[in-house]
A and B are shown apart, each in its own frame.
Chain A
Amino acid sequence: MTTRHFLRDDDLTPDEQNAVLELAAQMKADRFAYRPLEGPRSVAVFFDKVSLRTRLSFEAGIAELGGQPLIVDTQATHFGRGESLSDAGRVVSRYVAAMVFRTTGDERLVELAADVHVPVINALTDGFHPCQLLADLLTIRERLGATRGKKLAYVGDAANNMAHSYLLAGASAGMHVRVAGPSGFDPAAAVVSRAAEIAAWTGGSVEVLRDPLEAADGVDVIATDTWTSMGQENDGRDRLTPFWPYQVNGKLLGVAAEGAIVLHCLPAHRGEEITDEVMDGPQSAVFDQAENRLHAQKALLAWLLSVNQS
């Protein structure tokens, strides 16, 4: 049997995504009732990049599932140095029930998972941030009752992993997804195309726009992310001038639907991509969103362990 991993958002079918989110809601409602890692079985969580929410939500979540988290700062180990990631993955997979990896290029994640017979989870790459999207979709379901048919606008750096994950996961959830960013910061055409393919199937839709006000017009959810993603701090590109029109502020929120919510995957650069007024305002769901990383990732882990056993 082929091992099921979660390397990008579209590794879950729309029905599977729904099943994980249902399970996440149940796990949130009865937080300590699920113990699929009882044993305890271990889950290795590797970080090529620093992390706060991802590290702690996985560490706490694995413990709450009855398991033992093994948190690894890859800079302090031989992981991926001196041997191939594929070899490292094969070794570690003999110790643990699952592996979680935060890294740079998606090819590193794919290489790690190549010959591994335990599930591998993407905890952020340059291309995608699919665990974050499960948390976001859970938050949307909680706040708005459903995802299907809801309109979401992602504004800001439309070329980054969050934009890509909103496209794929939003389309899978039957949402109408618009992304808008300045010229030169467009999402990868192949990702948009794949998202459109999924949307054609789920009844959602996908649009790439330039004008942030057009994108936010009448939407139920406005989402944004930092203008300078991890690893881009010193790339020399001016990320302030072109991005100012994309700031999520009162004016932008004003064109969204009444009762629209605002998402930000954090950390937020207040005063840049989002204002205090919005971040701390009544329509902000960002702290629920941050909490939901825990519940969504627990559900994902439990679901992957279950399908890989069956």
Chain B
Amino acid sequence: MSSLIERWQQAGMNNYGVPQAAFVRGEGAVITDEDGKQYVDFLGGIAVNALGHAHPAVVAAVTQQVRQLGHISNFYVAEPPVALAELLLALAGRAGRVVFTNSGAEANEAAFKISRLTGRTHVVATHGGFHGRTMGALALTGQPAKSDPFRPLPGSVTHTTFGDLSELSEAVTADTAMVILEPIQGENGVVVPPAGYLRGARDICDKAGALLVLDEVQTGIGRTGHWFHHQSEGIEPDIITLAKGLGGGLPIGACVAFGRAAELFTPGAHGTTFGGNPISCAAGLAVIRTIAGEGLLDHVKRVGEQLRRGVEGLNHPLISHVRGAGLLLGIVLTAPEAARVAAALKEAGFLVNAPQPDVIRLAPPLIISTEQADALIEALGGVL
């Protein structure tokens, strides 16, 4: 019998390239491939597995919910989506409204559509930004290699340099409906803007009457040691988009809007069949309650700092520095060898990825232990 990878090559569309491994089991931060080899998962399903694999709280919540009440459509309502919406608003600290989606791209599509309902059509995004692969979200994404084959794309979108407030200020006009930014650009190699960038963007949007949308799909739900990364700067966006860590492995996204932005959708303006599915929402509630109850936000900050110091402390000439926040970290290399290093780490039993030729991304489960962090640092020192 052929391996899973061989079978995939016969049956799967070739849009992801050949899978690097085939996994059969996961527990906590450790996953096992079909040959029985174990890996410590420092990628977390690309920042998705907030509580790692098979966390008892998620397993229990999903099992209980699927037994009690599964899908009901958005003609009706059940407790989990209401409770999750209330909890997200409370964590944001402000009154607002939520629409649930199935993914981060869809959450950004919702934000895009909300911005159109302001009566304006111009949008400002950033070079290197990643907001998803559906056509609307792709128009916002500032990575030409991903978007060029699909032009023309929707909308009137201006891309500005991430971190450059003067360029942002020039681009935003009285016709601008929204500015969409990631607080930290994850897919672009964990790029952190200069301090004050988000606050400056807030001011620019306020002056022009544009909505400020923060794509927290990768940075939200505790990833950087805050519920939402913008809280570390104390600013108040009009919309935040979420996904990835929210479901702890189940598919769910959310577009969370405040103030006037929260009132723009009216019946018929938007919808999605599975959005707000009680099972995914039950998983979301379990994820948030576990992060809160186990003090994981503080843990994220501590282990993130341990990783940063440990990696930089290797003092290896191939390592320039570590950037990012909490457990979303980019190890910046002095040469374009990230793919080689990632492959070598995989051989050593650690999963990471290389979003840029010279950047290795770490986005482990928020439950990653200090011992596992030390083990990665040691392994990295061995493979460089």
**What A residues does B119 contact at CB under 8 A?**
none
How far, in whole Å, are A209 and B262 apart by their CA atoms in the complex? 14
Q: Told that A192-B94, A197-B292, A208-B94 touch, could you supply 13 new A-B pairs with CB distance under 8 A?
A: A186-B94, A189-B94, A193-B92, A196-B91, A196-B93, A198-B292, A200-B87, A200-B292, A201-B293, A205-B87, A207-B86, A208-B89, A209-B95
B residues 290-340 in Cβ contact with A at 8 Å: 291-293, 297
How far, in whole Å, are A225 and B41 apart by their CA atoms in the complex? 51
- 10 shortest interchain CB distances as A-B pairs: A189-B93, A196-B90, A192-B93, A200-B292, A201-B293, A193-B93, A206-B90, A201-B292, A197-B292, A208-B95
Partner of B86 from the list A188, A193, A201, A205 (CB cut-off 8 Å) is: A205
Contact A199-B90, Cβ < 8 Å, known A190-B234, A193-B227: yes
How far, in whole Å, are A28 and B234 apart by their CA atoms in the complex? 42
B231 lies within 8 A of chain A by Cβ = yes
A187 lies within 8 A of chain B by Cβ = yes
Count residues on chain A whose CB falls below 8 Å from chain B CBs.
Answer: 21
**What B residues does A186 contact at CB under 8 A?**
94-95
A191 lies within 8 A of chain B by Cβ = yes
**What A residues does B120 contact at CB under 8 A?**
none
How far, in whole Å, are A187 and B92 apart by their CA atoms in the complex? 12
Query: In whole Å, how far is B84's beta carbon from the nearest beta carbon of chain A?
Result: 11
A195 lies within 8 A of chain B by Cβ = yes
Asked whether B234 lies within 8 Å of A193 as measured between CB atoms, the reply is no
The total of Cβ contacts below 8 Å across the A-B interface reads 59
Asked whether A188 lies within 8 Å of B93 as measured between CB atoms, the reply is yes
Query: In whole Å, how far is A119's beta carbon from the nearest beta carbon of chain B?
Result: 23
**What A residues does B89 contact at CB under 8 A?**
207-208
Counting chain A CB atoms within 10 Å of each CB, the highest count among B86, B90, B91, B234 belongs to B90
Asked whether B92 lies within 8 Å of A189 as measured between CB atoms, the reply is yes
27 A-B pairs within 8 Å (CB atoms) are namely: A186-B94, A186-B95, A188-B93, A189-B92, A189-B93, A189-B94, A190-B234, A192-B90, A192-B94, A193-B90, A193-B93, A193-B227, A193-B231, A196-B90, A196-B91, A196-B93, A197-B227, A197-B297, A201-B292, A201-B293, A205-B86, A206-B90, A207-B89, A207-B90, A208-B93, A208-B94, A209-B95
